[in-house]
Amino acid sequence: MLLMIILTCFALFLLIYVFAAFLKAQYLTKKRPVESLLEQRKNSPDFCSWDKISEPFKTYFILIEDPEFYERSGIRLKNIARRGSSYFIKKGQVTHGSTISQQLAKNLYLRFDRTIFRKIMEFFICLKIERRLTKEEIFTFYLNIIYYGNNIYGISEACEYYFSKKPAALTANQAIFFACLIAGPNAADPVHYPDKFFRLKEQKLENCFREGLISEEELLFFSSFPKDRPDPEFAPAICRTEEKPVIQMVNERFGPFKNYGLRGKTH
């Protein structure tokens, strides 16, 4: 009897918890509809549209970051369950593994704290994003707002900084470079910590090979670049002796509702 009461109370608490997250997600997306945010970002001079991104970049970035991006909805219930269990095992923290749509939801509306409540909100926001935007819009929007390390947001600025080129000229290896970079933009910054970055890139490539996403030939090719130069076309203007900037990653810092055109002047 006591066990039944405890289980009932727990189920009621869980229901209220999820409902509270749902209401908060509804409030956020109603206050700032994702379609409006996308339109505002499109008005920025450095916005990079779908047709201005190279095909090799689209193919290999998605392959590394979210290989099932086109085949399913933007939510992986299996990963959510795994992260939910890790919340209790790792003292309130959850693991990585979000889809592109989930990451877009997080970057647009949520803080970067790793809590169950935030992940549930992310789930509901992601559902709305998937209903309101096409896959191309989701991918393009994501590339134009995420953090690329060294105080850089957006694919256009990142391409200029790291490779001195436009997104339309990116190679397959550079797509993998960026897919790995966003996984650890500070801890594995390729400018200041190239060894850490190379290990991260090597790990991601090996995972893709084990999952059958890339061939052995591709694995060898993309892993063959020298450890102190993560990409052979790394922009020569980058000085690796410059002081490492301290970046506090917070939500909305880069968002269009924060006057994106003045982002670099609002630290």
CB 161 within 8 A of CB 238: yes
Residue type, 31: K
Domain ranges of the chain: 19-235
Q: Could you give the angle at the alpha carbon of 183 between the alpha carbons of 116 and 87, nearest 5°?
A: 20
- Residue 14 burial by Cβ neighbours in a 10 Å radius (0-12, 13-18, 19+): exposed
Q: Say how far apart CA 147 and CA 155 lie, in whole Å.
A: 9
Concatenate the DSSP letters of all residues of 100-135 into one string: HHHHHHHHHH--S---HHHHHHHHHHHHHHHHHS-H
Element (DSSP H or E) covering residue 195: helix 194-210
The answer to whether the beta carbons of residues 148 and 220 sit under 8 Å apart is: no
pTM of the model: 0.79
pLDDT in tens, the chain (267 residues): 777 888 888 888 899 999 899 999 999 999 999 999 999 999 999 999 999 999 999 999 999 999 999 887 656 555 444 444 444 444 443 334 589 999 999 999 987 777 889 999 999 999 999 999 999 999 999 999 999 988 889 999 999 988 888 999 998 988 999 999 998 888 888 888 878 888 898 999 999 999 999 999 999 888 876 554 445 556 655 554 455 544 444 444 444 334 433 333 333
Is the torsion defined by CA of 155, 156, 159, 162 positive or negative? negative
User: Using an 8 Å Cβ cutoff, are 214 and 175 in contact?
Assistant: no
In 3-state terms, what secondary structure has residue 263?
A: helix
Cβ neighbours for 145, distance < 8 A, ≥ 6 positions apart? 41, 104, 107, 108, 153, 154, 254, 255
Per CATH, the number for 19-235 is 1.10.3810.10
The answer for residues whose C-beta is within 8 angstroms of residue 251's C-beta and 6 or more apart is 106, 107, 109, 110, 111, 112
What is the number of residues in the chain?
267
Beta bridge partners of 153: 147
Contact yes or no for 76/130 (Cβ under 8 A): no
